[in-house]
Chain A
Amino acid sequence: MTSATPALRLEGIVKTFPGVRALDGVSFSVLPGEVHALMGENGAGKSTLMKVLGGIYQPDEGKIIVSEQPVVMTSPLQAKSKGIVFIHQELSLAEELTVAENIYLGELPRKSFGRVDWPKLHEQTNRILETLKVGFDARTRVGDLSIANQQMVEIARALTVEAKAVIFDEPTASLTDAEKVVLFDVIDNLKAEGVGIIYISHRMEEIFRMTDRISVLRDGQYRGTLNTAETSEDEITQLMIGRKLDLSRNAVHHELGDVALEVRGLSCGKLFRDISFEVRKGEVVGFYGLVGAGRTEIAETLFGLREPSSGTILLNGEETVFHSPADAIAKGISLVPEDRKAQGLVLGMNCRDNMTLPQVDDLKAGPFVAEGAEIAIFDQYRDRLDIRTPGWKQLAGNLSGGNQQKIVIGKWLSMHPSVLIVDEPTRGIDVGSKSEIHNLIRDLASQGYAIIVISSEMPEVLHVSDRIVAMYSGEIIRTFTSEEVTEDNLIQAISGIRPEKAA
């Protein structure tokens, strides 16, 4: 790093909301040509800070300084005009419009009578696309592009202005490995051009690969900046959560019961093929693989959401077909889905009603819902899972991610399922709650539940699973016991490399 003037400097940014001091004197600076990671638990103030930088919130105190010029921004557009550009986590593209129209959204070149200057638009766009070396052209409809290419369009948008600082918010969340490589190339190019980059991610591996320095937020406060080359995961984690996190390998061994679920040769169109595995009572089987490897689809099939094209499912030794989620639930399968907000909870409903939703037909007093019984169930699982909420009347949407996830888990535990499937148990949950959920899963296994955990996070899979099923492109490559698994052979397996036949 040189001691050049920072591309972007924050000085004592304070932002309060009624009752909350969301940002409490945050100061750090991003140098030109630097990739600067911003880390912190959910709720640490990252997203508030980003909204301040993006012109959506105005800070109560403090200064934002771009190239030594203090700036005041009251809209995203203004932020962009000052050279601060966002690559959003959730893509903000208009799918029906062309690549060119999206890149110059809000700034289409104008001819007389308010007409769009198409030739100029396409020429400008293609010039930018060339620098990105992408395989599509200005006139392509954005809806026809892959997610990765759509992200490229977002990035191209950043290149339309002379960006001083580009902010990437979880950019790799939906990318394949090959696509990540392209993204990292782009970031390197930006870096070479002297643009300051703020990189927000939870993935340590990327942080260490991509960034030069790391700034950490906790509880709205700036906790320090580390040089990536001189720090370690432990140090960062400690700074983020104020203590050391235990993510050791699962080493608990206990008696396993009978086979609860057995799957033989299950296939579903192009999604997955010839899947066979079994789960015993008291066992946690982890499914690990890349996004799109077919893990979630298997869970959905077991939950009656998809119709398998062939294969058999045996539940407690009996061959079974699941026609619908209602059917699967009745037979003893439960699914904690991947997307908590979209699939797991009715956010506008209170906690109690969410928790008893699957069994509302059974909790009856005469023709009515037995609210007393419902409250009893809620109280029982609130205590058992340590759900922190003021009371059952609280709307599910008002809880934190961790507590929401516990409501969903409680919903299924109260049904006493034979098999509990948990898809991405800790996605979007802060580090502290993560380990609570992990312990909970282990705990449930020791109580005799048969559990399937699907996860994209290797430490999580290693931590909670008794056995690990590695999937690649719709097929099971290998099943590991917790003794034989290593990070290396797991990564090889999910990349499609089969173990030597001879070995």
Chain B
Amino acid sequence: MEPGTLSTFLKRGAIWGFIVVELLFFSIAGEFLSLSDKAFMDMDNMLLLFKQSAPIGIIAIGMTIIMINGNIDLSVGATFALSAVVLLDSMTWPVFAGLGDGVIPIAWGLALLTGIVLGALNGLIVWKTGVDAFIVTLGSMLGYRGLVFMYNGEQPTSHLNWTLVDFAEAHFLGLHTATWFLIAVTAVVWFVMNRTIHGRNAYAIGDNRTAAINAGIRVGPHMMINFMIIGFLASLSAVVFYSESGSVNPNDGELYELWVITAVVLGGTKLTGGAGSVLSTLGGVIAIQLLRKGLGHIGADTETVNLVIGLILIAVLFLDRQLNLKGKQELRI
């Protein structure tokens, strides 16, 4: 959106303000409590933070579109895992044995295709049956996870390709490969949502579905495309992550949907659809990762991270409501 009123600006800016507060807090608290001598706002530390944000971040960018569109996707964790399995397993297939490193683009392609197909399946069901996306993806979260297990039983799937590992661990202009992927995804999706007809229609559908239908916007295909995008991004996230780690357990990616939704909501995307911003979601992802690192930095147990994030999520919701109520005469309903 080109223009913006002051209030929307403040709302969108809130997550960045929160990040600044986090940085200041952990830096100052770190001075007194830190177990290490390194400053919190150390350059390497921050670069690592971006890299670690990437797997969740890439999916969260996709979830933002889905939620702007008025849907939700609970199956991203399972899609993530299945794509990872396909990625690692396909590199060992005898058909590709003679290709050497030429197998890499094929494996990537297959993994990404997996994500797109799974997303398309979700989208198609939402479109054609009219069943709410929450239920459709609640089902496919179980179903896709079942597929992961069916693929390789309860065994982990492993394959290390050193060319891939080198690629994943590479730096370019000081940033890690994963960070570049996150930046690229954010930029492309920002462009799609703000500059293209598909993006604007996705906003319209999430905002007022009836109006969109009456205006002749084809709601179904738009939703399906968005599910394909999030499927693609879930598998891209897997590709980025597992190129480096080289081993996937069938339970990997569990609860990712919850982390991702947390980041999107922290970023201010409306649950009911129609409003939200990709950049703010990026802020939400960074805020969570900062919290994770920051708590470690000041010597808190890693276990408390979940507790703090959960409470912050609720606090944000509470503050948002209070700010929206301010000045309005409210009915006691």
| A residues at B contact (CB < 8 Å) | 75-77, 80, 92-98, 101, 105-108, 110, 113-116, 118, 139-141, 144, 268-271, 297, 300, 304-307, 324-325
Contacts and interface: CB of A to CB of B under 8 A. Distances in A.
Contacts of A115: 195-197
Of all A-B residue pairs in the complex, the 10 with the closest CB atoms, nearest first, are A77-B216, A106-B215, A94-B207, A92-B211, A105-B215, A106-B216, A76-B214, A139-B3, A94-B208, A106-B217
A98 B210 CA distance: 17
Contacts of A92: 208, 210-211, 214-215
A270 B329 contact: yes
17 contacts: A76-B216, A77-B216, A92-B214, A94-B208, A95-B274, A97-B204, A101-B204, A105-B204, A106-B215, A106-B216, A106-B217, A108-B200, A115-B196, A116-B195, A116-B196, A140-B3, A304-B332
A76 B329 CA distance: 38
A159 to B, nearest CB: 15
B83 interface: no
Q: Which of B3, B196, B275, B332 has the most CB of A within 10 A?
A: B332
Given A94-B211, A94-B212, A305-B332, A101 B198 contact: no
Contacts of A307: 332
Contact of A97 (B197, B200, B332): B200
B331 A305 contact: yes
A492 to B, nearest CB: 28
A137 to B, nearest CB: 9
Nearest to B274: A96
B5 interface: yes
B322 interface: no
Given A113-B196, A114-B197, A105 B8 contact: no
A75 B216 contact: yes
Nearest to B1: A98
Contacts of A300: 331
A92 B212 CA distance: 8
A321 to B, nearest CB: 13
Nearest to B275: A96
Interface string B302-333: 00000000000000000000000000010111
B203 interface: yes
A96 B202 CA distance: 12
B249 to A, nearest CB: 39
A115 B200 CA distance: 10
B201 interface: yes
Nearest to A269: B329
Contacts of B37: none
A94 B274 contact: yes
A474 to B, nearest CB: 12
A95 B208 contact: yes
A237 to B, nearest CB: 33
A140 B215 CA distance: 20
Nearest to A94: B207
A50 to B, nearest CB: 12
Contacts of A95: 207-208, 274
B302 to A, nearest CB: 38
Given A96-B275, A106-B216, A116-B195, A101 B211 contact: no
Contacts of B213: 76
A376 B5 CA distance: 57
B2 interface: yes
Given A96-B274, A144-B5, A307-B332, A105 B196 contact: no
A30 B261 CA distance: 53
Contacts of A324: 332
A113 B5 CA distance: 29
B5 A141 contact: yes
A114 B8 CA distance: 27
Interface in B161-214: 195-198, 200-201, 203-204, 207-208, 210-214
A229 to B, nearest CB: 35
B29 to A, nearest CB: 38
Given A97-B204, A110-B197, A144-B5, 10 more contacts: A92-B208, A92-B215, A94-B212, A105-B211, A108-B201, A114-B196, A140-B3, A141-B3, A297-B329, A306-B331
A501 B100 CA distance: 100
A106 B200 CA distance: 9
B267 to A, nearest CB: 15
A67 B232 CA distance: 49
A344 to B, nearest CB: 14
A76 B196 contact: no
B88 to A, nearest CB: 34
B179 to A, nearest CB: 26
Interface string B206-244: 011011111111000000000000000000000000000
Contact of B3 (A80, A98, A304): A98
A114 B194 CA distance: 12
Contacts of B5: 141, 144
A271 B329 contact: yes
A417 B145 CA distance: 58
Contacts of B201: 106, 108
A77 B215 contact: yes
Contacts of B207: 94-97
A402 B87 CA distance: 64
Q: Which of B1, B274, B329 has the most CB of A within 10 A?
A: B329
A346 to B, nearest CB: 14
A73 to B, nearest CB: 12
Given A75-B216, A106-B216, A306-B332, A93 B2 contact: no
A53 to B, nearest CB: 13
Contacts of B8: 141
A116 B332 contact: no
B321 to A, nearest CB: 18
Contacts of A106: 201, 204, 212, 215-217
B197 A116 contact: yes
Contacts of B204: 94, 97, 101, 105-106
